[in-house]
A and B are shown apart, each in its own frame.
Chain A
Amino acid sequence: MPAVPAALAEIEDRLAEIRYRLNRRTLVSVLCPIVAALLVVAALITWSAARGTAESFAIALWAGGAAAAIVLAWGALSLANRWLSLAEVARLADERAGLRERLSTVHWLARAGNPSPLAPVLIVDTFEQRARWQASAIVPRRFPWEIGAPLAALALLGAALFLDEPLLPSLEELLKNQPRTEHQMEMAVPFPPPPPTPMDTAQASLDGEPLLEAASEGEGDAGALGLEPGEGAGRAATSAALTEQVRDAIRKALQRFEEGEGKRDLAKALPGSDADLTRGDLPPQPGAFDLASSRQAGARKAGTEPRPSAAAEKAAAAAGAEAEAKKRGRDASASVDPETGLPRGQNDRPKDDRRAVAAEPYEPRPEDGDVAAMPGTGDAPETQYGAGGEGREQDRPADEARVPGTSDPRARAKPGDAAVAGDLRGEGKQKGGASASAGAGSEGEGGLFAKAGGEGSKPLAGAPKGTFKLTLGSFLTAGPGAKDKGERRERVAANPRAAVNEPPALHPNQSDDDALRRADIPPEYEDVVRRIYSSRPAR
């Protein structure tokens, strides 16, 4: 029979060992879910940081922080409730070993110092039954399956960490993942399609294909942007699909160009254009005044007006107005706004309103028929003004196209009327700019968001992958003729700056347009234009 103190010490040691095992198991069972939850939260935050937007990251961060706090609080409470004291361990061992409260009574005796005469009997009796309450019998060893949860969460975190994804999704992914909805179309309205920039022209010329030619084919960059050819989503819809940041970047770049900075840069590159560039106008081109006045006259004849959204068109209109003023002996500014190129009557409309009108996406209407769906003219493909997206109008003669600015699809211009053709080009530019701006993608968009090594574009030297560089190139010039395409492509490929420095040349089709624009416009057409624009409801 062992000495009572030794037996008591042995019992206490064993109780402590059992307590250690039980509390360790409790610790594992509480910490594993906590760690797992924290890892899941970390994975969520990491994932949102890598693939989400700033808003989603902020939401994930705050939600994750709150979840982590809740989990930690739960863990603390759970640990406090489940953490066993020696007395509780003794009672638990009594129950598991069927000791009839021997251990708990001995533990109480050891703590309280009860001088019961039977205490030694109880201690010795409990000690002699130690085989029944060994630590391995009370708390048998087992594999802690609870660690599976944190391991799985760790794998999740690893997957989130090592995802080979860009920090920001590419433009193509954005457009592919975001279906076009009416809401997006509405969102596109406040952001009118930018006019063809010199960069567009230059980038288009890199491939030897005019930008507007590709756009007017009806596919444009729709294919490159993941849209179905001919969907006519337009650049406005494309812009709506962009993230706000990208859209801002585009808007700033275009605004910067329109404000003249880009033009000044361009003026440096183009010889002999200082005077006009300082006014924020387009650089003078040979015969530009004649071209503008001819175009203005063509618009008057057609009873409509070219859209002011294109800077080149504005310059041409202003130049035309000046030329016409010289002709008529009156101030050009009295009849034509030099900024917009519109007649004064139209210029009374608020600027934003006009922009909204200009950016109105094209939606085919049943009553319009094929004619209504024509944003461009039949001869527009080769021109920079016929940036229509549908391209169906190419098969139709220009004289059958609906007179822009009228609601009656039956209103037709007279065949052979040059003003009609000029007007239709203007309409085509207007509508095409809104509804078929997706067509600017492969060429025009490619100038802004050129993918390195992508088809139809040349990677900028030294530019990192997935970035774009905005380059101001030539504009207001038609592309070279088919004969010159190959040579020009080679030159541009050798030196991209050649697209900027090279003197522009008029396309044969554009020369025809110039001839149309040079035609005189009767004054009554101006009244017609004013009446039409004043009768259109404000938006």
Chain B
Amino acid sequence: MERTARDVANFQQQFRRLEQELGRVIVGHGETIEQILVAFFSGGHVLIEGVPGTGKTLLVRTLGQALNLSFSRIQFTVDLMPADVTGTRIVAETGGRREFVFSPGPIFTHVLLADEINRATPKTQSALLEAMAEFQVTAGGRTHVLAPPFFVLATLNPIEMEGTYPLPEAQLDRFFFKVRMSYPGARELQRIIGTTTSTDVPQIAPLFPAETAADEIEGLKKLVREVIVAPHVEEYAAAIVGATLPSQSKFSPLGERLLPPDEQVDRYVSFGSSPRGGQALLLGAKVLALLDGRANVGYDDVERIAVPALNHRLVLNFAAEANGVDARALIERIVHAARRLRK
């Protein structure tokens, strides 16, 4: 199907309307909201790292309401079992016969909030892996496909780390973005406490009818994937991802590197980004291109999306923690070095 400029304009319009609806409930955090929406339309999942009380749960619920999609929330605890997430088979009486039937867990929804995911055991955390990567759940020997769109928003509490299970790198890699929600500013805090303590609760107007919302959103997600990326832009993204790999690692790629090894990356990075990071880079850049009204990806789109797409994929070593080196700073350094590939 041949697209027209109207499709691109429609995407822009829906995206901006969604931002506006979320902005009516969530005060501030404009950049975080945009990144979450970018990941949503890219078909990825988002790990939100933030202190309690910053509106993480409200954000996810509002997103579900605005998209007119189903919404679930799982509070991860130490005793949470995988079946509590994916569902389990129970004995049910149907037609006078008792048989095991699958009872879907809370994961069978469009928008899932995995609150404080690092408090669950790795066994339970891994229950999300298949659902997040394959959009399906296997329980009792049977595979159950999750209805699209499926969007996981996990939160990570950086405090109260006792008794928590940090997410393994494999699970972190499955998140499209990792965004950070910090405390609101003074003006934003004033608005938050003002709106949430009054009787005037903002009402969310869904963008799409409930019957067609999933299809509409899938249509927009398909449009995102149709955005054109020229080879030199792909090379630029690949160079950035490849530059996150330490040159001295035994997993370092053989052959030519598009960018020379960075001294700080070699010193502070244990493991670099996987190819999923490159996918996230380009998909997020495509969304940004559409938001800009373009049908092609530019260098700036890749550059803007580099930090949220790669920062949780860099595994830093102890030296980086000791020296206070942040993955974000390393990525910005790599992006700056990659600018010479633009010409």
Q: Which residues of A contact B (CB under 8 A)?
A: 91-92, 95, 100-102, 104-105, 108-109, 114, 116-122, 124-125
Contact = CB atoms under 8 A, between A and B. Distances in A.
Contacts of A114: 228
Given A114-B228, A121-B3, A124-B5, 9 more contacts: A95-B343, A100-B299, A101-B230, A101-B297, A105-B228, A105-B229, A118-B296, A120-B3, A125-B295
Interface in B208-263: 223, 226-233
A117 B1 contact: yes
Contacts of B134: none
A477 B342 CA distance: 96
Contact of A121 (B5, B229, B231, B342): B5
A118 B292 contact: no
Contacts of A100: 289, 292, 294, 296, 298-301
B8 interface: yes
A393 B160 CA distance: 121
Contacts of A121: 3-5, 7-8, 295
Contact of B299 (A101, A116, A119, A125): A101
A114 B228 CA distance: 9
A105 B230 contact: yes
18 contacts: A91-B342, A95-B342, A100-B299, A100-B301, A101-B232, A102-B294, A102-B296, A104-B232, A105-B228, A105-B233, A108-B232, A116-B226, A117-B2, A117-B3, A118-B8, A118-B228, A125-B5, A125-B295
Contacts of A104: 230, 232
B226 A101 contact: no
Q: Which 3 A-B pairs have the closest CB atoms?
A: A100-B298, A118-B295, A122-B295
Nearest to B286: A118
A109 B233 CA distance: 13
Contact of B227 (A108, A118, A125): A118
Nearest to A87: B232
Nearest to A126: B296
Interface of B: 1-5, 7-8, 223, 226-233, 289, 292-301, 342-343
Contacts of A92: 343
Contacts of B2: 117, 120
Contacts of A108: 230-232
Contacts of B289: 100
Among B8, B298, B300, the one with the most A-chain Cβ atoms within 10 Å of its Cβ is B298
Nearest to B294: A100
Contacts of A101: 230, 232-233, 296-299
Nearest to B5: A121
A124 B9 CA distance: 14
Contacts of A119: 228, 295
A124 B229 CA distance: 16
Contacts of B295: 116, 118-119, 121-122, 125
A117 B226 contact: yes
B317 to A, nearest CB: 36
A119 B7 CA distance: 13
A125 B343 contact: no
Contacts of A125: 5, 293-295
A421 to B, nearest CB: 96
A330 B132 CA distance: 139
A109 B4 contact: no
A109 B8 CA distance: 19
B258 to A, nearest CB: 16
A439 to B, nearest CB: 77
Contacts of A109: 228
Given A101-B297, A125-B294, A118 B3 contact: yes
A108 B229 CA distance: 10
Nearest to A100: B298
Contacts of B301: 100
A423 B227 CA distance: 116
Among A91, A108, A117, A118, the one with the most B-chain Cβ atoms within 10 Å of its Cβ is A118
Contacts of B3: 117-118, 120-121
Contacts of B292: 100
Contact of B296 (A95, A105, A124): A105
Contacts of A105: 228-230, 233, 296
Among A100, A109, A125, the one with the most B-chain Cβ atoms within 10 Å of its Cβ is A100
B232 A91 contact: yes
Nearest to B342: A95
A387 to B, nearest CB: 82
Nearest to A107: B230
A101 B227 CA distance: 13
Nearest to B298: A100
Given A95-B342, A121-B8, A124-B5, A116 B228 contact: yes
A88 to B, nearest CB: 9
B98 to A, nearest CB: 52
Among A95, A114, A125, the one with the most B-chain Cβ atoms within 10 Å of its Cβ is A125
Contacts of B226: 116-118
A122 B1 contact: no
B298 A91 contact: no
B343 A91 contact: yes
A437 B2 CA distance: 105
Nearest to B233: A101
A100 B289 CA distance: 9
Nearest to B229: A105
Nearest to A101: B298
Among B292, B293, B296, the one with the most A-chain Cβ atoms within 10 Å of its Cβ is B296
A125 B298 CA distance: 14
Nearest to A118: B295
Contacts of B299: 100-101
A120 B2 CA distance: 8
A274 B4 CA distance: 121
B300 to A, nearest CB: 6
A91 B296 CA distance: 14
Contacts of A124: 5
B226 to A, nearest CB: 5
Contacts of A120: 2-4
A92 B342 CA distance: 9
A95 B342 CA distance: 9
A124 B6 CA distance: 12
Contacts of B230: 101, 104-105, 108
A369 to B, nearest CB: 84
Among A101, A105, A122, the one with the most B-chain Cβ atoms within 10 Å of its Cβ is A101
Contacts of B342: 91, 95
A108 B294 CA distance: 16
Nearest to A115: B2
Contacts of A116: 226, 228, 295
Nearest to B236: A101
A243 to B, nearest CB: 59
Nearest to B3: A117
Contacts of A95: 342-343
A109 B228 CA distance: 9
A117 to B, nearest CB: 4
A157 B110 CA distance: 83
Contacts of B294: 100, 102, 122, 125
Among B294, B301, B342, the one with the most A-chain Cβ atoms within 10 Å of its Cβ is B294
Contacts of A117: 1-3, 226
B306 to A, nearest CB: 16
A116 B2 CA distance: 8
A460 to B, nearest CB: 75
Nearest to B300: A100
A343 to B, nearest CB: 92
